[in-house]
Amino acid sequence: MRLQRRSLTLVLLGALALAGAGTDAQAQGRKDSVVLGMVLEPAPGLDPTTAAAAAIGEVVHYNILEGLTKINVDGTVTPLLAESWEVSPDGKSYVFKLRKGVKFQDGEPFDAAAVKFSFERAKAEGSTNKAKKAVFDNISSIATPDPHTAILVLNNPDGTLPFRLGENTAVILSPKSAATTATKPIGTGPYQFDSWQKGQSITLSKWAGYRNPGAIKINKVTFRFINDPAAQVAALLAGDVDGIPRFGALQSLKQFQQDKRFTVEIGDTAGKGILAINNKKPPLNDVRVRRALMHAIDRKAFIDGVLEGLGKPIGSHFAPTDAGYVDLTKVYPYDPEKARALLKEAGVQTPLNLTLTLPPPQYARKGGEIIAAQLAKVGVVAKIENVEWAQWLSGPFKGNFDLTIINHVEPLDYAQYGNTAYYWGYDSKAFRDLLAKHAAAGSARERSEAWVAMQKKLAEDAVNAYIFNPAQVAVAKRGLKGLWSSSPIFANDIAAVSWATAP
Per-residue pLDDT of the chain (503 residues; tens, 9 = 90+): 333 333 333 344 444 444 444 444 344 455 899 999 999 999 999 999 998 789 999 999 999 999 999 999 999 999 999 999 999 998 899 999 999 999 999 999 999 999 999 999 999 988 888 777 779 999 999 999 999 999 999 998 888 899 999 999 999 999 999 999 999 999 999 999 999 999 999 999 999 999 998 889 999 999 999 999 999 999 999 999 999 999 999 999 999 999 999 999 999 999 999 999 999 999 999 999 999 999 999 999 999 999 999 999 999 999 999 888 999 999 999 999 999 999 999 999 999 999 999 999 999 999 999 999 999 999 999 999 999 999 999 999 999 999 999 999 988 899 999 999 999 999 999 999 999 998 888 788 888 899 999 999 999 999 999 999 999 999 999 999 999 999 999 999 999 999 997 54
Among 149, 180, 211, give the residue marking a domain's end. Answer: 180
- We report the CATH number of the domain holding residue 11 as 3.40.190.10
CA angle 206, 209, 210 (to 5 degrees): 70
What's the confidence (pLDDT) of residue 323? Answer: 82
What's the confidence (pLDDT) of residue 15? Answer: 42
Among 154, 180, 206, give the residue marking a domain's end. Answer: 180
Q: Are residues 99 and 130 in the same domain?
A: yes
What's the confidence (pLDDT) of residue 1? Answer: 34
Query: Structural domain of residue 74, as residue ranges?
Result: 66-180
- We report the CATH number of the domain holding residue 300 as 3.10.105.10
Contacts of 125 (CB under 8 A, 6+ apart): none
Q: Are residues 278 and 410 in the same domain?
A: yes
Number of domains observed in the structure of the chain:
3
Q: Are residues 197 and 322 in the same domain?
A: no
Q: Are residues 390 and 280 in the same domain?
A: yes
This prediction's pTM: 0.88
User: Which residue from 341, 220, 259 is spatially nearest to 292, judged by alpha carbons?
Assistant: 341
Q: Are residues 124 and 252 in the same domain?
A: no
Q: Is 361:332 a contact under the CB 8 Å cutoff?
A: no
Q: Is residue 52 part of a domain?
A: no
Q: Are residues 326 and 381 in the same domain?
A: yes
Distances 3 to 8, 9, 10, 140, 351 between C-alpha atoms, Å: 9, 10, 11, 62, 33
Q: Is residue 253 part of a domain?
A: yes
Q: Counting beta carbons within 10 angstroms of the beta carbon of residue 318, is it exposed (0 to 12), middle (13 to 18) or buried (19 or more)?
A: buried
Q: Is residue 53 part of a domain?
A: no
Q: Is residue 185 part of a domain?
A: no
